[in-house]
Chains A and B, each alone.
Chain A
Protein backbone atom coordinates (compact mmCIF):
# COMPACT_ATOMS: atom_id res chain seq x y z
CA UNK A 1 0.00 0.00 0.00
CA UNK A 2 2.04 2.95 1.19
CA UNK A 3 5.42 1.70 2.45
CA UNK A 4 7.69 -1.30 2.67
CA UNK A 5 6.56 -3.85 5.29
CA UNK A 6 9.14 -2.86 7.92
CA UNK A 7 7.86 0.70 7.89
CA UNK A 8 4.30 -0.32 8.69
CA UNK A 9 3.54 0.08 12.37
CA UNK A 10 -0.11 -0.97 12.32
CA UNK A 11 -1.54 -3.27 9.68
CA UNK A 12 -5.29 -3.93 9.45
CA UNK A 13 -6.58 -6.58 7.07
CA UNK A 14 -10.14 -7.63 6.29
CA UNK A 15 -11.51 -6.02 9.44
CA UNK A 16 -15.13 -6.83 10.18
CA UNK A 17 -16.85 -5.59 13.32
CA UNK A 18 -20.42 -5.01 14.36
CA UNK A 19 -22.49 -3.95 17.34
CA UNK A 20 -25.32 -6.47 17.25
CA UNK A 21 -27.01 -6.11 13.84
CA UNK A 22 -25.27 -2.78 13.11
CA UNK A 23 -22.23 -3.34 10.91
CA UNK A 24 -19.41 -0.91 11.75
CA UNK A 25 -16.61 -2.32 9.59
CA UNK A 26 -17.13 -4.53 6.60
CA UNK A 27 -13.75 -5.57 5.27
CA UNK A 28 -11.39 -2.68 5.98
CA UNK A 29 -7.67 -2.70 5.08
CA UNK A 30 -5.35 -0.04 6.53
CA UNK A 31 -1.61 0.50 6.84
CA UNK A 32 -0.29 2.99 9.38
CA UNK A 33 3.25 4.07 8.53
CA UNK A 34 5.87 4.15 11.28
CA UNK A 35 6.87 7.60 12.48
CA UNK A 36 4.20 9.36 10.42
CA UNK A 37 0.94 11.08 11.19
CA UNK A 38 -2.00 9.23 9.70
CA UNK A 39 -5.47 10.74 9.72
CA UNK A 40 -8.64 8.65 9.84
CA UNK A 41 -11.45 10.85 8.57
CA UNK A 42 -15.15 10.20 8.49
CA UNK A 43 -18.49 11.48 9.70
CA UNK A 44 -19.70 11.02 13.27
CA UNK A 45 -20.94 7.55 14.07
CA UNK A 46 -18.86 5.88 11.41
CA UNK A 47 -16.80 3.94 13.94
CA UNK A 48 -13.56 5.91 14.07
CA UNK A 49 -13.22 5.60 17.84
CA UNK A 50 -14.09 1.92 17.51
CA UNK A 51 -11.09 1.51 15.20
CA UNK A 52 -8.75 2.89 17.89
CA UNK A 53 -10.21 0.58 20.52
CA UNK A 54 -9.78 -2.35 18.13
CA UNK A 55 -6.14 -1.42 17.51
CA UNK A 56 -5.64 -1.12 21.29
CA UNK A 57 -7.11 -4.59 21.78
CA UNK A 58 -9.99 -3.37 23.95
CA UNK A 59 -12.48 -4.91 21.57
CA UNK A 60 -12.14 -7.92 19.30
CA UNK A 61 -13.07 -7.88 15.62
CA UNK A 62 -15.60 -10.32 14.22
CA UNK A 63 -13.01 -11.30 11.63
CA UNK A 64 -9.82 -9.99 10.09
CA UNK A 65 -6.46 -9.20 11.66
CA UNK A 66 -4.94 -6.19 13.41
CA UNK A 67 -1.18 -6.25 13.73
CA UNK A 68 0.88 -3.81 15.77
CA UNK A 69 4.62 -4.16 15.20
CA UNK A 70 3.89 -7.39 13.36
CA UNK A 71 2.04 -8.90 16.34
CA UNK A 72 -1.61 -9.91 15.98
CA UNK A 73 -3.27 -7.97 18.80
CA UNK A 74 -6.14 -10.42 19.13
CA UNK A 75 -3.91 -13.45 19.62
CA UNK A 76 -2.22 -11.97 22.70
CA UNK A 77 -2.94 -12.99 26.28
CA UNK A 78 -4.04 -10.25 28.66
CA UNK A 79 -0.53 -9.84 30.10
CA UNK A 80 1.03 -9.77 26.61
CA UNK A 81 -1.53 -7.19 25.57
CA UNK A 82 -0.67 -5.05 28.59
CA UNK A 83 3.03 -5.28 27.64
CA UNK A 84 2.16 -4.09 24.13
CA UNK A 85 0.05 -1.24 25.52
CA UNK A 86 3.06 0.12 27.39
CA UNK A 87 4.36 1.04 23.93
CA UNK A 88 1.14 2.69 22.76
CA UNK A 89 -1.15 5.42 24.04
CA UNK A 90 -4.75 6.28 23.34
CA UNK A 91 -5.94 9.80 24.00
CA UNK A 92 -9.64 9.67 24.71
CA UNK A 93 -11.89 12.46 23.52
CA UNK A 94 -12.73 13.29 27.15
CA UNK A 95 -9.11 13.13 28.28
CA UNK A 96 -10.08 10.29 30.68
CA UNK A 97 -8.09 11.88 33.49
CA UNK A 98 -8.45 10.26 36.89
CA UNK A 99 -10.66 12.70 38.76
CA UNK A 100 -9.34 11.88 42.24
CA UNK A 101 -5.77 12.79 41.25
CA UNK A 102 -4.20 16.18 40.59
CA UNK A 103 -2.81 17.09 37.19
CA UNK A 104 0.68 16.22 38.48
CA UNK A 105 -0.42 12.84 39.82
CA UNK A 106 -2.28 12.05 36.60
CA UNK A 107 0.88 12.51 34.56
CA UNK A 108 2.89 10.60 37.16
CA UNK A 109 0.35 7.75 37.15
CA UNK A 110 1.85 5.56 34.38
CA UNK A 111 5.37 6.20 35.69
CA UNK A 112 4.41 5.10 39.19
CA UNK A 113 2.54 2.06 37.87
CA UNK A 114 5.17 0.80 35.46
CA UNK A 115 8.57 2.00 36.66
CA UNK A 116 10.63 1.96 39.86
CA UNK A 117 12.05 5.40 39.23
CA UNK A 118 12.98 7.45 42.31
CA UNK A 119 10.52 10.15 43.30
CA UNK A 120 12.91 12.95 42.31
CA UNK A 121 13.17 11.60 38.77
CA UNK A 122 9.41 11.09 38.48
CA UNK A 123 8.96 14.71 39.57
CA UNK A 124 11.41 15.96 36.93
CA UNK A 125 9.84 13.86 34.17
CA UNK A 126 6.34 14.98 35.06
CA UNK A 127 7.35 18.63 35.16
CA UNK A 128 9.13 18.29 31.80
CA UNK A 129 6.05 16.73 30.21
CA UNK A 130 3.75 19.33 31.72
CA UNK A 131 6.09 22.08 30.52
CA UNK A 132 5.89 20.60 27.01
CA UNK A 133 2.10 21.03 27.03
CA UNK A 134 2.30 24.40 28.79
CA UNK A 135 0.60 23.28 32.00
CA UNK A 136 3.42 23.12 34.56
CA UNK A 137 1.63 25.88 36.45
CA UNK A 138 -1.56 23.80 36.69
CA UNK A 139 0.12 20.82 38.33
CA UNK A 140 -1.77 21.11 41.64
CA UNK A 141 -5.21 21.52 40.08
CA UNK A 142 -7.75 18.73 39.87
CA UNK A 143 -9.37 17.73 36.54
CA UNK A 144 -12.64 19.47 37.45
CA UNK A 145 -10.73 22.73 37.88
CA UNK A 146 -9.36 22.85 34.33
CA UNK A 147 -11.01 23.33 30.93
CA UNK A 148 -11.67 20.60 28.35
CA UNK A 149 -8.77 21.78 26.20
CA UNK A 150 -6.43 21.75 29.19
CA UNK A 151 -7.63 18.25 30.09
CA UNK A 152 -6.60 17.00 26.67
CA UNK A 153 -3.20 18.63 27.03
CA UNK A 154 -2.74 16.94 30.42
CA UNK A 155 -3.83 13.66 28.84
CA UNK A 156 -1.24 14.27 26.16
CA UNK A 157 1.46 14.84 28.78
CA UNK A 158 0.38 11.60 30.45
CA UNK A 159 0.31 9.73 27.14
CA UNK A 160 3.94 10.57 26.36
CA UNK A 161 5.19 9.89 29.89
CA UNK A 162 6.29 6.35 29.06
CA UNK A 163 7.65 7.42 25.66
CA UNK A 164 5.36 5.23 23.53
CA UNK A 165 6.10 4.41 19.92
CA UNK A 166 2.46 4.75 18.85
CA UNK A 167 -0.03 7.36 19.95
CA UNK A 168 -3.69 7.44 18.94
CA UNK A 169 -5.76 10.61 19.21
CA UNK A 170 -9.53 10.35 19.39
CA UNK A 171 -11.12 13.56 18.11
CA UNK A 172 -8.48 15.76 19.72
CA UNK A 173 -9.83 19.02 18.31
CA UNK A 174 -13.57 18.61 18.87
CA UNK A 175 -15.14 21.45 20.82
CA UNK A 176 -11.90 23.41 21.08
CA UNK A 177 -11.69 27.17 20.75
CA UNK A 178 -9.33 28.38 17.98
CA UNK A 179 -6.46 29.04 20.41
CA UNK A 180 -6.69 25.62 22.09
CA UNK A 181 -7.05 23.96 18.70
CA UNK A 182 -3.95 25.72 17.40
CA UNK A 183 -2.02 24.69 20.50
CA UNK A 184 -3.11 21.06 20.17
CA UNK A 185 -2.32 20.91 16.44
CA UNK A 186 1.17 22.28 17.07
CA UNK A 187 1.68 19.83 19.95
CA UNK A 188 0.71 16.79 17.89
CA UNK A 189 2.98 17.88 15.08
CA UNK A 190 5.90 18.71 17.40
CA UNK A 191 5.60 15.41 19.26
CA UNK A 192 5.66 13.51 16.02
CA UNK A 193 8.72 15.31 14.74
CA UNK A 194 10.66 15.48 18.03
CA UNK A 195 10.07 11.91 19.21
CA UNK A 196 9.44 10.14 15.91
CA UNK A 197 6.08 8.90 17.17
CA UNK A 198 3.65 7.09 14.97
CA UNK A 199 0.45 9.07 15.31
CA UNK A 200 -3.09 8.13 14.34
CA UNK A 201 -5.57 10.97 14.48
CA UNK A 202 -9.23 10.16 14.26
CA UNK A 203 -11.24 13.26 13.48
CA UNK A 204 -13.88 14.99 11.44
CA UNK A 205 -12.06 18.32 11.59
CA UNK A 206 -10.83 17.80 8.04
CA UNK A 207 -8.73 20.87 7.33
CA UNK A 208 -6.97 20.93 10.70
CA UNK A 209 -6.03 17.26 10.54
CA UNK A 210 -4.97 17.26 6.91
CA UNK A 211 -2.70 20.24 7.62
CA UNK A 212 -0.42 18.08 9.80
CA UNK A 213 -0.98 14.59 8.35
CA UNK A 214 1.33 12.59 6.13
CA UNK A 215 -1.40 10.25 4.97
CA UNK A 216 -5.16 10.01 5.34
CA UNK A 217 -7.95 7.46 5.12
CA UNK A 218 -11.56 8.43 4.54
CA UNK A 219 -13.99 5.95 6.08
CA UNK A 220 -17.75 5.69 5.89
CA UNK A 221 -20.38 2.96 5.80
CA UNK A 222 -17.92 0.42 7.16
CA UNK A 223 -15.49 0.77 4.25
CA UNK A 224 -12.41 2.78 3.25
CA UNK A 225 -13.74 5.12 0.56
CA UNK A 226 -10.52 6.93 -0.22
CA UNK A 227 -6.93 7.14 0.93
CA UNK A 228 -3.77 8.97 0.02
CA UNK A 229 -1.66 11.98 0.90
CA UNK A 230 -3.53 15.09 2.07
CA UNK A 231 -2.97 16.63 -1.37
CA UNK A 232 -4.39 13.56 -3.09
CA UNK A 233 -7.41 13.52 -0.76
CA UNK A 234 -8.07 17.20 -1.41
CA UNK A 235 -7.81 16.62 -5.16
CA UNK A 236 -9.89 13.46 -5.04
CA UNK A 237 -12.75 13.20 -7.52
CA UNK A 238 -14.64 10.90 -5.21
CA UNK A 239 -18.09 12.37 -4.65
CA UNK A 240 -17.96 11.22 -1.06
CA UNK A 241 -14.56 12.84 -0.38
CA UNK A 242 -15.74 16.08 -1.92
CA UNK A 243 -18.95 16.11 0.13
CA UNK A 244 -16.98 15.44 3.29
CA UNK A 245 -14.17 17.92 2.59
CA UNK A 246 -16.53 20.73 1.72
CA UNK A 247 -19.13 19.95 4.34
CA UNK A 248 -22.05 19.65 1.93
CA UNK A 249 -25.22 18.61 3.73
CA UNK A 250 -26.36 16.09 1.15
CA UNK A 251 -24.59 13.72 -1.21
CA UNK A 252 -23.46 10.11 -0.97
CA UNK A 253 -23.76 10.55 2.79
CA UNK A 254 -27.46 11.42 3.20
CA UNK A 255 -28.43 14.25 5.51
CA UNK A 256 -31.53 12.33 6.60
CA UNK A 257 -31.33 9.23 8.71
CA UNK A 258 -33.19 6.47 6.93
CA UNK A 259 -36.89 6.56 7.89
CA UNK A 260 -39.47 3.78 7.47
CA UNK A 261 -42.05 6.08 5.83
CA UNK A 262 -41.95 9.07 3.53
CA UNK A 263 -42.08 12.53 5.11
CA UNK A 264 -45.64 13.25 3.85
CA UNK A 265 -46.95 9.84 4.98
CA UNK A 266 -45.45 10.41 8.40
CA UNK A 267 -47.06 13.85 8.73
CA UNK A 268 -50.47 12.70 7.48
CA UNK A 269 -50.64 9.70 9.74
CA UNK A 270 -53.11 10.33 12.61
CA UNK A 271 -51.53 10.68 16.03
CA UNK A 272 -52.04 7.71 18.34
Chain B
Protein backbone atom coordinates (compact mmCIF):
# COMPACT_ATOMS: atom_id res chain seq x y z
CA UNK B 1 0.00 0.00 0.00
CA UNK B 2 2.72 2.41 1.07
CA UNK B 3 4.86 1.39 -1.90
CA UNK B 4 1.92 2.05 -4.24
CA UNK B 5 1.36 5.49 -2.76
CA UNK B 6 5.08 6.21 -3.04
CA UNK B 7 5.04 5.25 -6.74
CA UNK B 8 1.98 7.46 -7.24
CA UNK B 9 3.70 10.27 -5.35
CA UNK B 10 6.83 9.95 -7.52
CA UNK B 11 4.69 9.90 -10.67
CA UNK B 12 2.75 13.01 -9.65
CA UNK B 13 5.95 14.82 -8.65
CA UNK B 14 7.53 13.88 -12.01
CA UNK B 15 4.42 15.00 -13.89
CA UNK B 16 4.39 18.29 -11.99
CA UNK B 17 8.06 18.90 -12.76
CA UNK B 18 7.57 18.01 -16.41
CA UNK B 19 4.56 20.33 -16.67
CA UNK B 20 6.53 23.18 -15.13
CA UNK B 21 9.33 22.45 -17.61
CA UNK B 22 6.84 22.54 -20.52
CA UNK B 23 5.55 25.93 -19.35
CA UNK B 24 9.13 27.21 -19.21
CA UNK B 25 9.70 26.00 -22.79
CA UNK B 26 6.44 27.57 -24.00
CA UNK B 27 7.48 30.89 -22.47
CA UNK B 28 10.80 30.67 -24.33
CA UNK B 29 9.17 29.96 -27.71
CA UNK B 30 8.61 33.58 -28.87
CA UNK B 31 12.30 34.37 -28.32
CA UNK B 32 13.36 31.18 -30.08
CA UNK B 33 11.16 31.99 -33.09
CA UNK B 34 13.21 35.14 -33.61
CA UNK B 35 16.25 32.95 -34.35
CA UNK B 36 15.14 30.95 -37.38
CA UNK B 37 18.68 29.74 -38.13
CA UNK B 38 18.73 27.63 -34.96
CA UNK B 39 15.32 26.18 -35.82
CA UNK B 40 16.35 25.43 -39.43
CA UNK B 41 19.43 23.63 -38.18
CA UNK B 42 17.30 21.45 -35.90
CA UNK B 43 14.71 20.90 -38.62
CA UNK B 44 17.49 19.34 -40.64
CA UNK B 45 18.61 17.06 -37.80
CA UNK B 46 15.20 15.92 -36.58
CA UNK B 47 13.14 16.30 -39.76
CA UNK B 48 15.26 15.79 -42.85
CA UNK B 49 17.36 13.09 -41.22
CA UNK B 50 14.15 11.16 -40.40
CA UNK B 51 12.95 11.28 -44.01
CA UNK B 52 14.44 7.98 -45.19
CA UNK B 53 12.89 5.85 -42.45
CA UNK B 54 9.51 7.57 -42.95
CA UNK B 55 9.53 7.22 -46.74
CA UNK B 56 10.53 3.55 -46.64
CA UNK B 57 8.10 2.67 -43.85
CA UNK B 58 5.26 4.57 -45.52
CA UNK B 59 5.82 2.68 -48.76
CA UNK B 60 5.85 -0.72 -47.04
CA UNK B 61 2.74 0.09 -45.00
CA UNK B 62 0.96 1.06 -48.26
CA UNK B 63 1.97 -2.25 -49.85
CA UNK B 64 0.85 -4.27 -46.83
CA UNK B 65 -2.50 -2.49 -46.58
CA UNK B 66 -3.15 -2.97 -50.28
CA UNK B 67 -2.40 -6.70 -50.07
CA UNK B 68 -4.45 -7.25 -46.91
CA UNK B 69 -7.26 -4.99 -48.11
CA UNK B 70 -7.49 -6.69 -51.49
CA UNK B 71 -7.76 -10.13 -49.90
CA UNK B 72 -10.51 -9.05 -47.50
CA UNK B 73 -12.43 -6.96 -50.03
CA UNK B 74 -12.35 -9.79 -52.62
CA UNK B 75 -14.45 -11.87 -50.21
CA UNK B 76 -17.19 -9.24 -50.45
CA UNK B 77 -16.64 -8.44 -54.11
CA UNK B 78 -15.72 -4.91 -53.15
CA UNK B 79 -12.19 -4.54 -54.52
CA UNK B 80 -13.22 -1.20 -56.05
CA UNK B 81 -13.09 0.16 -52.49
CA UNK B 82 -9.38 -0.70 -52.16
CA UNK B 83 -8.27 2.92 -52.63
CA UNK B 84 -10.51 4.26 -49.90
CA UNK B 85 -9.61 1.33 -47.63
CA UNK B 86 -5.92 2.15 -47.91
CA UNK B 87 -6.42 5.92 -47.74
CA UNK B 88 -8.80 5.90 -44.76
CA UNK B 89 -6.60 3.55 -42.76
CA UNK B 90 -3.48 5.52 -43.54
CA UNK B 91 -4.87 9.02 -43.08
CA UNK B 92 -6.91 8.35 -39.96
CA UNK B 93 -4.56 6.02 -38.09
CA UNK B 94 -1.44 4.61 -39.66
CA UNK B 95 0.21 7.80 -40.83
CA UNK B 96 -0.02 9.80 -37.57
CA UNK B 97 0.63 6.84 -35.25
CA UNK B 98 3.35 4.96 -37.14
CA UNK B 99 5.15 8.19 -38.06
CA UNK B 100 5.06 9.26 -34.41
CA UNK B 101 6.40 5.89 -33.22
CA UNK B 102 9.18 5.89 -35.80
CA UNK B 103 9.96 9.53 -35.07
CA UNK B 104 10.21 8.84 -31.34
CA UNK B 105 12.69 6.05 -32.05
CA UNK B 106 14.74 7.98 -34.59
CA UNK B 107 14.65 11.65 -33.55
CA UNK B 108 13.28 11.64 -29.98
CA UNK B 109 15.97 9.29 -28.72
CA UNK B 110 18.67 11.30 -30.54
CA UNK B 111 17.42 14.53 -28.95
CA UNK B 112 17.39 13.04 -25.45
CA UNK B 113 20.88 11.60 -25.90
CA UNK B 114 22.27 14.84 -27.31
CA UNK B 115 20.83 17.04 -24.57
CA UNK B 116 21.78 14.50 -21.89
CA UNK B 117 25.37 14.44 -23.13
CA UNK B 118 25.46 18.24 -23.30
CA UNK B 119 24.47 18.20 -19.65
CA UNK B 120 26.99 15.50 -18.71
CA UNK B 121 29.82 17.43 -20.38
CA UNK B 122 28.91 20.72 -18.67
CA UNK B 123 27.89 22.36 -21.94
CA UNK B 124 24.54 23.44 -20.53
CA UNK B 125 26.12 24.69 -17.28
CA UNK B 126 28.76 26.44 -19.37
CA UNK B 127 26.06 28.25 -21.32
CA UNK B 128 24.33 29.32 -18.12
CA UNK B 129 27.59 30.72 -16.81
CA UNK B 130 27.98 32.64 -20.09
CA UNK B 131 24.58 34.18 -19.33
CA UNK B 132 22.97 32.22 -22.16
CA UNK B 133 19.73 30.48 -21.23
CA UNK B 134 19.94 26.84 -22.43
CA UNK B 135 16.15 26.63 -22.52
CA UNK B 136 16.07 29.39 -25.13
CA UNK B 137 19.25 28.42 -26.97
CA UNK B 138 19.09 24.60 -26.93
CA UNK B 139 15.69 23.32 -25.82
CA UNK B 140 13.17 25.65 -27.48
CA UNK B 141 14.58 25.37 -31.05
CA UNK B 142 14.57 21.57 -30.81
CA UNK B 143 11.03 21.55 -29.44
CA UNK B 144 9.82 23.80 -32.29
CA UNK B 145 11.61 21.63 -34.84
CA UNK B 146 9.74 18.56 -33.55
CA UNK B 147 6.40 20.42 -33.70
CA UNK B 148 7.02 21.40 -37.33
CA UNK B 149 8.61 18.13 -38.47
CA UNK B 150 6.11 15.57 -37.26
CA UNK B 151 3.00 16.79 -39.17
CA UNK B 152 5.12 17.20 -42.32
CA UNK B 153 6.60 13.72 -41.97
CA UNK B 154 3.09 12.36 -41.35
CA UNK B 155 1.93 13.91 -44.63
CA UNK B 156 4.92 12.40 -46.44
CA UNK B 157 4.20 9.01 -44.87
CA UNK B 158 0.57 9.21 -46.05
CA UNK B 159 1.54 10.23 -49.59
CA UNK B 160 4.05 7.37 -49.82
CA UNK B 161 1.58 4.82 -48.44
CA UNK B 162 -1.35 5.78 -50.66
CA UNK B 163 0.46 7.06 -53.75
CA UNK B 164 2.09 5.65 -56.87
CA UNK B 165 4.92 3.89 -55.06
CA UNK B 166 2.77 2.58 -52.19
CA UNK B 167 -0.78 1.16 -52.17
CA UNK B 168 -1.32 2.21 -55.79
CA UNK B 169 1.63 0.13 -56.96
CA UNK B 170 0.28 -3.06 -55.39
CA UNK B 171 -3.46 -2.40 -55.83
CA UNK B 172 -3.52 -0.97 -59.35
CA UNK B 173 -0.30 -2.09 -61.03
CA UNK B 174 -0.02 -5.56 -59.48
CA UNK B 175 -3.52 -6.66 -58.49
CA UNK B 176 -5.37 -4.95 -61.34
CA UNK B 177 -7.75 -2.59 -59.54
CA UNK B 178 -8.89 0.13 -61.93
CA UNK B 179 -6.81 3.29 -61.52
CA UNK B 180 -9.82 5.62 -61.92
CA UNK B 181 -11.78 3.64 -59.32
CA UNK B 182 -8.82 3.66 -56.93
CA UNK B 183 -8.50 7.45 -56.98
CA UNK B 184 -12.19 8.16 -57.54
CA UNK B 185 -13.19 6.32 -54.36
CA UNK B 186 -10.56 8.19 -52.39
CA UNK B 187 -11.85 11.53 -53.69
CA UNK B 188 -15.43 10.57 -52.93
CA UNK B 189 -15.00 9.05 -49.50
CA UNK B 190 -12.12 10.85 -47.81
CA UNK B 191 -13.38 14.12 -46.36
CA UNK B 192 -11.55 17.20 -45.24
CA UNK B 193 -12.24 16.39 -41.58
CA UNK B 194 -10.33 13.11 -41.97
CA UNK B 195 -7.27 15.08 -43.01
CA UNK B 196 -7.79 17.68 -40.28
CA UNK B 197 -8.13 14.98 -37.63
CA UNK B 198 -4.91 13.41 -38.87
CA UNK B 199 -3.14 16.76 -38.63
CA UNK B 200 -4.52 17.33 -35.12
CA UNK B 201 -3.29 13.89 -34.06
CA UNK B 202 0.20 14.40 -35.45
CA UNK B 203 0.40 17.88 -33.89
CA UNK B 204 -0.56 16.42 -30.48
CA UNK B 205 1.97 13.62 -30.90
CA UNK B 206 4.58 16.25 -31.81
CA UNK B 207 3.98 18.12 -28.55
CA UNK B 208 4.18 14.88 -26.55
CA UNK B 209 7.34 13.54 -28.22
CA UNK B 210 9.09 16.92 -28.16
CA UNK B 211 8.20 17.41 -24.52
CA UNK B 212 9.27 13.93 -23.40
CA UNK B 213 12.53 13.99 -25.40
CA UNK B 214 13.82 17.34 -24.17
CA UNK B 215 12.63 16.68 -20.61
CA UNK B 216 14.35 13.31 -20.43
CA UNK B 217 17.56 14.76 -21.87
CA UNK B 218 17.57 17.88 -19.71
CA UNK B 219 16.97 15.99 -16.48
CA UNK B 220 19.13 12.96 -17.30
CA UNK B 221 21.66 11.95 -14.65
CA UNK B 222 25.01 13.30 -15.94
CA UNK B 223 26.52 9.82 -16.41
CA UNK B 224 26.67 7.35 -19.30
CA UNK B 225 24.05 5.23 -17.55
CA UNK B 226 21.86 8.30 -17.02
CA UNK B 227 21.99 9.24 -20.71
CA UNK B 228 21.28 5.65 -21.71
CA UNK B 229 18.29 5.55 -19.37
CA UNK B 230 17.00 8.88 -20.69
CA UNK B 231 17.19 7.62 -24.27
CA UNK B 232 15.33 4.42 -23.46
CA UNK B 233 12.72 6.24 -21.38
CA UNK B 234 12.13 8.67 -24.23
CA UNK B 235 11.27 5.88 -26.67
CA UNK B 236 9.20 3.85 -24.19
CA UNK B 237 7.27 6.79 -22.73
CA UNK B 238 6.72 8.45 -26.12
CA UNK B 239 5.47 5.23 -27.69
CA UNK B 240 3.07 4.44 -24.85
CA UNK B 241 1.82 8.02 -24.69
CA UNK B 242 1.29 8.13 -28.45
CA UNK B 243 -0.85 4.96 -28.55
CA UNK B 244 -2.76 5.99 -25.42
CA UNK B 245 -3.35 9.49 -26.70
CA UNK B 246 -4.34 8.10 -30.08
CA UNK B 247 -7.11 6.13 -28.41
CA UNK B 248 -8.36 9.21 -26.55
CA UNK B 249 -8.24 11.43 -29.65
CA UNK B 250 -9.92 8.77 -31.80
CA UNK B 251 -12.68 8.35 -29.21
CA UNK B 252 -13.29 12.12 -29.25
CA UNK B 253 -13.20 12.35 -33.03
CA UNK B 254 -15.25 9.19 -33.66
CA UNK B 255 -18.54 9.98 -35.28
Q: A92-B126, A96-B126 are in contact. Are A86 and B131 (CB under 8 A)?
A: yes
Scan residues 88-112 of chain A and give those whose CB is less than 8 A from a CB of chain B. 88-90, 92-94, 96-99, 109-110
Number of interface residues, chain A, beta carbon within 8 A: 23
Which B residues lie within 8 Å of A99 (CB)?
A: 118, 121, 123
| B251 contact set on A, CB distance < 8 A | none
Query: A85 contacts B121, CB within 8 Å?
Result: no
**CB interface residues, B 157-183, toward A, < 8 Å:** none
How far, in angstroms, from A93 to B122 measured CA to CA in the complex?
Answer: 9
- Distance (whole angstroms) from the CB of A134 to the closest CB of chain B: 21
Give chain B interface residues in 123-177, CB to chain A under 8 Å: 123, 125-133, 137
- Chain B residue with minimal CB distance to A110? B130
Please determine whether B132 and A110 come into contact, CB atoms closer than 8 angstroms.
yes
Q: Is A5 an interface residue (CB 8 A)?
A: no
B136 CB, nearest partner CB in chain A, Å: 10
Which residues of B lie under 8 Å from residue A85 when comparing CB positions? 128-131
A94 to B125, CA, bound (A): 11
B127 proximity list for chain A (CB < 8 A):
98
Q: Mark B90-112, 1 if CB is under 8 A from A, else 0.
A: 00000000000000000000000
Interface hub of B122, B125, B126, B127 (most chain A Cβ within 10 A): B126
Report Cα–Cα, A82/B31, bound state, in Å.
16
Closest beta carbon of chain B to A160's beta carbon, Å: 12
Interfacial chain B residues near A96, Cβ < 8 Å: 121-123, 125-126
**A93–B126 CA distance with the chains assembled, in angstroms:** 11
A246 within 8 A of partner (CB): no
Instruction: Select B130's contact among A78, A93, A113, beta carbons within 8 Å.
Output: A113
6 closest A-B pairs by beta carbon, nearest first, are: A96-B126, A96-B122, A85-B131, A82-B131, A90-B129, A92-B122
Q: In the complex, given contacts A96-B122, A96-B126, A99-B123, what are 9 additional A-B residue pairs having Cβ atoms less than 8 angstroms apart?
A: A56-B129, A85-B131, A89-B129, A89-B130, A98-B123, A98-B126, A99-B121, A109-B130, A158-B130
